[in-house]
Amino acid sequence: MQNFKAILDDICETAKNAKEKGTVASYIPELAAVDKNNFGIHLRTLDGLDYGAGNFETPFSIQSISKVLALSKAMALIGESVWKRVDVEPSGHPFNQLALLEIENGIPRNPLINSGAIVIADILLSHLKNPKEDFLNYVRELANDTNINYNTAVANSEKNTGFKNYAAANLLKSFNNLENPVDAVLDFYFHQCSIEMSCSQVSKAFFFLSNKGGDLKKIAQLTESQAKRINAIMLTCGFYDEAGEFAFEVGLPGKSGVGGGIVALLPDHYIITTWSPGLNKKGNSLLGMLALEQFTTKTKLSIF
């Protein structure tokens, strides 16, 4: 038996004392005000035991972490038809890069870059009766927590500054890869990214992927095969042009967000979430990446 609490406490202490904490995302004004000295880490094991350290109960904007949950909902709704509109290949480019989208005729490389997530948002808009309400309730059900909400100030901040997302959405529309109006799709997408959750809530929401669907399969409505595919996409595409580095250093499927959160998991073992708002040059949490590398090194629990 590993002493997970002691390991998390040690990692948290190291992170809190780190001199370099990265740079908080400033292109979304509401995120720029977050204190980069925050650090939280939370682990949930397959048998439902929870361990946390630092600010693991403090809500933060999950941003692109939400893309995985949106993808799971889209796959439950339309199954393999998702892959007619978005590919499953790593992009090797920043999350908001547009050149590949034009070269590849409006088919995003994967559903975890912005253009791919906008297509997924369009699918949800077409198939959910009350899209924003239904998606939020889906996340709440996965986490078994009705206190999870959108941060409308963050959503409006993104709406007012998300010019590249508007460019991507209009480019997708020009290739007939959006069914709904651009403004409606982006309104949903910005709200999706603005969901606030703590590390412990994120770990619980992703529990259905750690055990291939498991007890939450009825909520997620995913097959084991679909859960496996989502994990594969997280491993190869979850960190944009740093996905290879994360696999190399940490060795887990995972997903980052520019709010400073990272969720990662070892199927059939655990889910772990970190939050540290300071980002590295690739847009991933600087201390979150280091913390997860320390965790898999100390515990020897990774997929490799």
Catalytic residues: 64, 67, 189, 240, 258
Contacts 24+ apart (CB under 8 A), 11-17: 11/41, 11/53, 11/291, 11/294, 11/295, 11/298, 12/39, 12/40, 12/41, 12/53, 12/54, 12/291, 14/291, 14/294, 15/39, 15/41, 15/54, 15/276, 15/287, 15/290, 15/291, 16/54
Q: Three-class SS of residue 270?
A: strand
Residue 149 in tokens: 């909400």
Q: Considering the domain 4-299, what is its CATH architecture?
A: 3-Layer(aba) Sandwich (3.40)
Tens digit of pLDDT per residue, the chain (304 long)? Answer: 689 999 999 999 999 999 999 999 988 888 989 999 999 999 999 988 999 999 999 999 999 999 999 999 999 999 999 999 999 999 877 666 787 888 889 999 999 999 999 999 999 999 999 999 999 999 999 999 999 999 999 999 999 999 999 999 999 999 999 999 999 999 999 999 999 999 999 999 999 898 755 555 567 888 888 999 999 999 999 998 899 999 999 999 999 999 999 999 999 999 999 999 999 999 999 999 999 999 999 999 999 8
Predicted pLDDT of residue 96: 66
Residue 225 in tokens: 């095969």
Strands of the sheet with 270-275, listed across from one edge: 50-54, 40-45, 270-275, 261-266, 254-256
Predicted pLDDT of residue 224: 85
Predicted pLDDT of residue 74: 97
Q: How far apart are CA 63 and CA 7, in angstroms?
A: 27
- Among 258, 21, 239, 255, smallest CA distance to 154 is for 258
The domain ranges of the chain are: 4-299
Place of tokens 């094991």: 45
Contact 220, 276 (CB under 8 A): no
Buried b (16+ CB within 10 A) or exposed e, 31-50: beebebebbbbbbbbbeeee
Residue 268: DSSP 8-state: T
Residue 79 in tokens: 């199954």
Predicted pLDDT of residue 165: 95
Buried b (16+ CB within 10 A) or exposed e, 259-271: bbbbbbbbbebbb
Predicted pLDDT of residue 11: 98
Predicted pLDDT of residue 281: 92
The β-bridge partners of 278 are 24
Contact 91, 97 (CB under 8 A): yes
Strands 40-45 and 60-61, sheet pairing: unpaired
